């Protein structure tokens, strides 16, 4: 008996989109109320939504799809960790200032959002490449 590693059903992708939309709404609502762009607020909605989108089952759920998701996630973790490390090294070690505010490090929600954005995008790119190659 094969056990599926993805815990969410296919319909959970809709929940993910709704969470992303709620995060975007909250981001602009905070800007309207307080006059600040809180990227952490946006990252919370994106990361929760992308968790449901990326870790949901696909319509065609076979070993190839699981392999592509794992490959996309492995690449995304390395790329986002490298980008986060580079950002923190450049902006925090050199003590650059933006106006009157000190630049902050990237939060865990922002790291997760970056990772899942890269993983989701790369997964659908790989999936499209395979279906394109099969069509020829």
pLDDT digits (tens, 9 = 90+) for 42-73: 899 999 999 999 999 888 888 888 999 999 99
pTM of the complete model beyond 0.75: yes
CB-based contact 103:97 (threshold 8 Å): yes
Distances (CA, A) of 20 to 1, 24, 30, 40, 135: 35, 6, 15, 13, 33
CB-based contact 20:45 (threshold 8 Å): yes
Query: Residue 116's closest CA among 3, 25, 23?
Result: 23
Residue 28 has pLDDT above 50, yes or no: yes
In tens, the pLDDT along 84-131 reads 999 888 877 766 555 555 667 788 999 999 999 999 999 999 999 988
Query: DSSP character for 97?
Result: E
Q: Where are the domains of the chain?
A: 12-135
Q: Which two tokens stand for residue 88?
A: 């923190």
More confident residue, 77 or 38: 77
């Amino acid at each position: 008996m094969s056990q599926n590693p993805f815990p969410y059903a296919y319909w959970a992708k809709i929940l993910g989109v709704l969470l992303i939309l709620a995060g975007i709404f909250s981001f602009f609502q905070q800007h309207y109320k307080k006059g600040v762009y809180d990227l952490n607020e946006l990252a919370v909605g994106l990361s929760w939504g992308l968790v449901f989108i990326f870790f949901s089952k696909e319509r065609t759920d076979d070993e190839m799809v699981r392999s592509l998701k794992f490959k996309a996630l492995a690449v995304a973790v390395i790329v986002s960790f490298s980008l986060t490390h580079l950002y923190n090294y450049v902006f925090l070690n050199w003590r650059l200032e933006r106006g009157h505010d000190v630049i902050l490090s990237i939060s865990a929600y922002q790291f997760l959002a970056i990772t899942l954005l890269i993983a989701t995008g790369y997964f659908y790119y790989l999936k499209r490449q395979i279906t394109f190659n099969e069509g020829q």
